[in-house]
Amino acid sequence: MSLMDDIFDNYSTLQESQLLTEAIQRWEPQAIDEVPEYLKDFYLKLLRTFKEFENELESDEQYRISFLQDEIKALSRSYIIDSKWGIEKYVPTLEEHLSNSLVTSVHPVLICAFYVGMDQVTSKEVFEWVASFPKILEASSMIGRIMNDITSHKSEQQKEQAASTVECYMKEFATDEKEAYKNLMEMVEDAWKDHNKDCLNPTQVPRLIIEIIVNFSRVAEEVYKYTDGYTDSKTTMKDNIYMVLVESILI
């Protein structure tokens, strides 16, 4: 996902991005002929990685990969829209922006990826539920997208990229930066209420499925709470990851 984001945001031309997106929609080795030379390795590695995922699954679980492929295809289509908006200097309405940027938050594809390896707890009904973009997944994407856009707003202004939710809000509602931050964070609070609602009420999927989304939203808030901790690896996030995955824990 990081490589895809960088390709579409920083390295490829719009035409090159379109060729890569078309190849991803086809999802077959033969499409490599249409991909720009410097992106061929990435494309083949993408297909190979998914084949490796599939080989790790039991035969009655391999259908899961098609759901994850669909999420990747949708992500590439949304990246193209983002690229066009940036080139055209187009500032959409907040609603129009979110209809695309909740996908590029990568929460939908990553949540789906988590479920692929979760043994028996994830049934086909779970993947169909995820593909329907349920309210709690939308809320999780909202948290990641808005908090990311706010903490990276000043640095992103120095680049020629598509308008973020901050610019869209400022233009549509004629507010300044401070007011946009405040009102967007209220939307984040509402998204957490949607999380709480699904945690307190019966759901159509197992509780563990809901908990995965809640925990991922917690991670997103921690990463983007004070700064863009994903882009800047020298922040406290590096220490946090080290403490969780490297340092031993006394029991």
Q: How far apart are CA 123 and CA 248, in angstroms?
A: 35
161's tokens: 């990229």
Compute CA distances 216 → 108, 143, 151, 161, whole Å.
11, 10, 18, 26
Q: Which fold has domain 2-229?
A: Farnesyl Diphosphate Synthase (1.10.600)
Q: Would you list the DSSP string of 228-247? A: -TTT-TTSHHHHHHHHHHTS
Closest by CA to 177, choosing from 166, 187, 185, is 166
Q: What average pLDDT is seen over the chain?
A: 93
Q: Given pLDDT bands bounded at 50, 70 and 90, which one contains residue 158? A: low
Q: Percent of the chain scored above 70 by pLDDT?
A: 98
pTM of the model: 0.92
Question: What are the structural domain ranges in the chain?
Answer: 2-229
pLDDT in tens, 232-248: 877 788 888 888 889 88
Q: How far apart are CA 227 and CA 60, in angstroms?
A: 43
Q: What share of the chain is helix, strand, coil (3-state, %, to 5)?
A: 75, 0, 25
